[in-house]
Amino acid sequence: MTDTIKLLDVVALTADLPEYNLRRGQVGTVVEILAEGNAFEVEFCDREGRMFESIGLRPDQIMVLRYDPVNGNSEKETVLV
């Protein structure tokens, strides 16, 4: 598994950014890679898809959201109760 942040990755903030009215956990999309991967332009949109903020962030300010299991196996384990 790679931790490289890529263009169009869905990310979440790891800290509050009150100067931009953004809170930890807010979800955005990487729209540009800056400074040779040392910064990223991230757009934040509302539920209707309207962008309300676009800012440059350092890698330590965001985390990539993942949809697939770590082992790559999408089958769920059945637990009997």
Rounded to 5 degrees, what angle do the CA atoms 73, 75, 76 make? 120
Parallel, antiparallel or unpaired: strands 10-13 and 62-64: antiparallel
Tens of pLDDT, residue by residue over 28-80, are 999 999 999 999 999 999 999 999 999 999 999 999 999 888 776 656 556 66
Tokens of 21: 């009215």
**Strands 39-45 and 51-57: what pairing?**
antiparallel
What is the number of other CB atoms lying within 10 angstroms of the CB of residue 44? 19
How do the residues of the chain divide into helix, strand and coil, expressed in percent and rounded to 5? Answer: 10, 40, 50
> What tokens were used for 81?
């109760």
pLDDT score at 74: 56
Q: Tell me the whole-structure pTM to 2 decimals.
A: 0.81
**CATH fold for domain 10-64:** SH3 type barrels. (2.30.30)
Give the three-state DSSP class for 52. strand
Domain range annotation of the chain: 10-64
